[in-house]
Structure 1
Amino acid sequence: MWRKREQLMLWGTAYLPLILIMTYSFIDGNNWFKNTFVADFLKKYISKTLFDVVVIILIIIVSIVLYKLIVRYLFKDYENQLHSSNFGNKFVIRKYEKLSVNDYSFFLVTLLLPLVSLDYSSAANYTVSLFIIFFIVLIYVKTDSVSVCPVFFLSKWYVYRAIMSNNTRQEEQENPFLRKEVYIITLTKTLDLDRAFKAKHLVKNVYYVSQIDRDY
């Protein structure tokens, strides 16, 4: 299972674009960059508005690259390990569905609202906002809300709400509680429900899964 460290890394990376934009706004709002040699040089070639756009684009690009790198690091070798005979648990998936936009709504609100509602040239606003972001990240980590982290959404991994079981259908009919409602993270876009899967438990009801070549 993951420890809190992995979740902190994940959510810290998720909020990195907001932190970088806030930091740039704070530096720009206090004219710390305006009178530097680099700023004087750039003024000859591009306008302030164009420079702001370039900075935002660079922040987005850097953030997406880091999103991919952090997920790749956290899931390093999971695929190979799950396809080995002695790693992970074998099970089947009875049903799965994509997460809705509503599942990401709290993150989107906490990401976008500060950008349009606060003046980050103020040291007080900047400091308070950083504290609030840190507090939100702690809430996500405390509640093991890995499944709604947008880092996966912007990488090549897929997150689904699913029903999984390691029992036969007859056993499940006799005891419906044998089925588990979980969140799964996988590299496979379309899951073949006639095939078996292997899983690594990450946190709470969240699993990393990989489809294997054998029938259940």
Structure 2
Amino acid sequence: MRERVKLLPPTLVQRFHGWKATTYSENSVWYKKLADEGQRPRAMVISCCDSRVHVTSIFGADSGEFFIHRNIANLVPPYEPDGEHHGTSAALEYAVQALKVSHLIVLGHSNCGGVAGCNAMCTGHAPELEDKTSFVGTWLNLLRPGFERVKDLPEEERITALEQEAVMVSLENLMTFPFVTAAVESGQMTLHGLWHDIGSGDLRQYNPNKNGFEAV
């Protein structure tokens, strides 16, 4: 196995050295402080793996500000302490119980491939995702309740609605975790649902008083 591991491509090596000589060099005291004193992020952000969603850039954040967990379609599974491997649940537990973040943010986005895949799967157009051997399909099943809520919309409206449902399903599932519920009810932590339009750069937030997303 080890002989199959390769060295970084030269372009990435060059970009690293550029970062080390500029951004790191100009902020070396801050980086050393982070290394010595540990992280104290104010918020956890659960976002999509999509390379176009750059969480720290959207909020102008520095290193150490956000504890970020990324997965396909920014989904959170329900609380199921069954002893299996749960990367998202483990990250959530660490953020809430160890780091004691003040804000827990679910960030969805436009043109989400995972959401489009869920729509295709739920409408019978992606049988490969329904195969039990598909990790992606099994994961996207978490969003099926959201699809049921928007399935009657025209497809051009359904995709955006389903992207926002991915945020809502995750927020609903977050509240099935006892330690999340306890932190929210005690006032230690607040929950937030966001949807980012990649093309326009806009950011919308869920407003419970309006039961919908509105511009930030």
Range into which the TM-score falls when normalised by the shorter chain: under 0.3
Provide the TM-score with structure 1 as the length reference: 0.24
Structure with greater proportional strand content? 1
Structure with greater proportional helix content? 1
Query: Which structure is richer in relative contact order (CA contacts within 8 A, separation 6 or more)?
Result: 1
Structure ID, larger Rg: 1
